[in-house]
Amino acid sequence: MAGASGYAGGEILRLLLAHPRFEVGAVTAASSAGERLGDVHPHLVPLADRVLDVTTAPTLSGHDVVFLALPHGHSGALAAQLPESVVVIDCGADFRLESEADWTTFYDTAYAGSWPYGLPELRGPAGSVQRDQLAGATRIAVPGCYPTGVSLALAPGFAAGLLEAEDVVVVAASGTSGAGRSLKPHLLGSEVMGSMSPYGVGGGHRHTPEIEQNLSRAAGEPVTVSFTPTLAPMPRGILATCTARLRSGADRASVRAAWEAAYADEPFVHVLPEGSWPATASVVGSNHVQLQVAVDERLGRVVVVSAIDNLTKGTAGAAVQCANLALGLEETLGLPIAGVAP
């Protein structure tokens, strides 16, 4: 586990401790190397006496699976030094984008390429599903947290041909752990508690091209998205409100049927009964995605709300789900579906 001292790394370790088929090997970090894991993540009691190692390829290469949870720009060089037989699951952005132009527009490091995209439930046209790309893969790019919540919210409508490819608008609120663990003044408790604020406004957030890539794949044509993230005074969770224009002929019944059919057999994605609305509190600590879909008949728009835990289905849960698929294990193994409430 590389990046074990971070939020995503800590969540992967929490999930692996409850997984029946994984044993935790090396745990590595950067500035925290040499520290006890128990001092960095006091909640990971069974691993408390492990000492964080420096992140190097030799330390990581003797394992069947390596999870990378590093700041973007650091995964490529490390992964290139790991044997091809090692399953590498990257939680960073480095290998998510298929377009080099998108990468260079939104990121400040060299383009590393793209790996199979780790969102198993992502629908495409003609009934295709991303899961089929992940069985047996030895390199997988775990999606970003916002792209997970937003893409799963809207993909069924694009895959079913019900939505217009333009005028897609998303406003999403995230808990502060989405920004990682390093100290940043605007993430101090005194700044965040009792306040909400937007960031990356005006199309500047790095998850925009990833969301567009996913929805374009679902639609089979280019989709553009206006995406505005906001910071919410909670440690975990993303609530995404996603709206798009309905194509003529699409109505309340066809919309509901498309979403319910897309996720009828999915273990982790559930369309709630009509009248119930997703809440971040319901998915804390779980790999569960809650969705509700409504039609604004006056404006001819669909409104989909999704809730995920950014650290679980939005990162670490997806990473473990992808590892299960890559290794041919049951996809749901070791992954909680029940949240922590209240």
Ligand X SMILES: NC(=O)c1ccc[n+]([C@@H]2O[C@H](COP(=O)([O-])OP(=O)(O)OC[C@H]3O[C@@H](n4cnc5c(N)ncnc54)[C@H](OP(=O)(O)O)[C@@H]3O)[C@@H](O)[C@H]2O)c1
**Does 76 help bind ligand X (rule: CB under 6 A)?**
no
Interaction residues for ligand X, span 7-26 (CB under 6 A): 7-9
- Of 249, 215, 32, nearest in space to 123 by CA: 215
The catalytic site residues sit at 145
Can residue 118 be called a binding residue for ligand X (CB under 6 A)? no
- Binding-site string for ligand X from residue 128 to residue 167, where x marks contact by CB under 6 A and - marks none: ----------------xx----------------------
Paired sense of beta strands 197-198 and 65-68, if any:
unpaired
Q: Which is nearer to ligand X, 114 or 128 (CB)?
A: 114
C-beta of 34: minimal distance to ligand X in Å?
A: 9
Specify the residue, 30 or 303, whose C-beta has the smaller distance to ligand X: 30
Is residue 218 at the binding interface for ligand X, with CB under 6 A as the rule? no
Residue 190 makes CB contacts below 8 A (sequence gap 6+) with none
| Contact between 308 and ligand X per CB under 6 A | no
Three-class DSSP category at 88: strand
Which of 24, 26, 70, 82 touches ligand X by CB under 6 A? 70
Q: Tell which residue, 288, 146, 165, 274, has the closest CA to residue 219.
A: 165
Contacts of residue 1, defined as CB under 8 A and 6 or more positions apart, other chains included, come to 9, 12, 13, 16, 24, 25, 26, 27, 28, 66, 67, 69
Q: Does 3 bind ligand X (CB under 6 A)?
A: yes
Quick note: the x/- pattern for ligand X over 27-66, rule CB under 6 A, is --xxxx----------------------x-----------
Residues 237-276, mask of contacts with ligand X (x by CB under 6 A)? ----------------------------------------
Q: Count CA atoms closer than 13 A to 8's CA, side-chain side.
A: 32
Q: How many whole angstroms separate alpha carbon 56 and alpha carbon 305? A: 41
Q: Which is nearer to ligand X, 69 or 244 (CB)?
A: 69
Residue nearest to ligand X (CB): 6
Part in contact with ligand X (CB under 6 A); list of ranges 4-12, 96-104, 283-291, 297-305: 4-12
Residue 74 contacts ligand X per CB under 6 A: yes
Phi, psi of 129, deg, nearest 5: -140, 140
By CB under 6 A, tell whether 286 contacts ligand X: no
- Minimum distance of ligand X from residue 172's CB (angstroms): 13
Q: Is the peptide bond preceding residue 71 cis, with omega within 30 degrees of 0?
A: no
Helix pair angle (145-159, 252-263), 10° resolution:
120
Residue owning tokens 């995406």: 227
Contact 139, 86 (CB under 8 A): no
Task: List contacts with ligand X (CB under 6 A).
Answer: 3-9, 29-32, 55, 69-72, 74, 91-93, 144-145, 177-178, 180-182, 310-311, 314-315
